[in-house]
Amino acid sequence: MRNRLSLRGAFIAAALIECGVLIALVAYLALTDRALRISVEPRTVPVVASTEGLVIPVAGVQAAELRNTWGAARSGGRAHKGVDIFAKEGTPVLAAAAGVLVNRDSNGVGGLSLYQRGADGRIVYYYAHLSGTRAGLKVGDLLAPGDVIGYVGRTGNVSGAAHLHFAAFTVTDPNRWWHGRDLNPYDLLKPAAAPAVSHPK
């Protein structure tokens, strides 16, 4: 009987040790973000950081090239709720911040587009008019600033040159990423901004 109890105790002790090791491993991975990040193609594209710490989300574009088009008139009586970053079609689009990909969409306005929730859960970033997304990219993937997520395109309601429509909005509930208060991303990418430029429809 005593041997049986000793054996049972040894099994319980071994199980507790194994659980402890697993918990410690999960905590380590969560804190260091190791093995939880998707593997991405090497960063052979130019990454430019803004003064707010965000990455300008189109490879090689400098802050001086950005134009504030917030509030400019758009078709159907809409107002522009983002910043358009013009670049050659196929130029890599980069994650502006750390976070998680929460949705990919395709519609007649934004075309092929991606939604990324920031690591703090408070800001959602929107990337629209993409020509394509990085191979293997899927909802739930963790993103680091500067990760390639897609490519500049002309999908959706685009009448001019290829560009990325980049938008940002704050959310009170990180699980309701589609519902928030619009922010002017120009102010996030280039805080010492000039007044908005009005463009024809």
For the chain, give the percent of residues with pLDDT over 90.
40
Q: In terms of CATH architecture, what is 63-189? A: Distorted Sandwich (2.70)
pLDDT tens-digit readout, 41-89: 434 555 554 445 689 999 999 888 888 876 665 656 666 678 899 999 9
Domain boundaries, the chain: 63-189
Residue 198 CA to residue 25 CA, distance in Å, equals: 53
- Please give the C-alpha separations between residue 6 and each of 11, 18, 19, in angstroms, as whole numbers: 9, 18, 20
> What is the torsional sign of CA 161, 78, 84, 90?
negative
Residue 33 CA to residue 29 CA, distance in Å, equals: 5
Q: Which residues of the chain have pLDDT under 50?
A: 2, 4-5, 11, 15-16, 19, 21-22, 25-26, 28-43, 49-51, 192-201
152-169 in b/e form (b: 16+ CB < 10 A) is bbbbbbbeeebbbbbbbb
**Residue 110 tokens, joined:** 């934004």
